[in-house]
Amino acid sequence: MVQAKFFLRNAKKPSHVFALECSKDVCQERMVQEIGETGKGYLPSAILSKKIKEYHTQAKQLLPYLRGNTNFFCVNAERPWEKVMEDINKEVEPCVIHIRPGANSNDLRKQITEQLAA
């Protein structure tokens, strides 16, 4: 919480903030699949549970603060990674709209672009 407040006060406000939500069981399963139980970075279930509990304790204050002070999104990360990235990209990628010119359309075009930019 201290780091989040310090960052928002002293750095440029981030355009987007994402929290990836994933259960302990899915985290553990992915660790086994990706790095194996003997791989560097693997956490036994008991330690992982402790870290997740610590995250949820800190998140009780942090997530509402981020929701109120940033462009914050929670993303369900238990789905395939491609689907998770689709959700994130929907929020990050720009939407391009082409307004075709027409007779006497300058005022209308200006009005549309101003409303879209707001």
Per-residue pLDDT of the chain (118 residues; tens, 9 = 90+): 999 999 999 998 888 899 999 888 888 888 788 888 888 888 888 888 888 888 888 999 999 999 999 999 999 999 998 999 999 988 887 767 777 777 667 777 778 778 777 6
pLDDT score, position 24: 81
d(CA 28, CA 41): 12
Task: Fill in the DSSP letter of residue 24.
Answer: H
pLDDT score, position 104: 66
CB atoms within 10 A of CB 20: 12
Look-up: residue for tokens 């307004």? 99
pLDDT score, position 79: 93
15 CB-contact burial (10 Å; exposed 0-12 / middle 13-18 / buried 19+)? exposed
Bridge partners of 20? 75
Our measurement of the distance from residue 23's CA atom to the centroid of its chain's CA atoms, rounded to an integer in Å, reads 16
Nearest to 76 by CA among 17, 15, 18, 31: 18
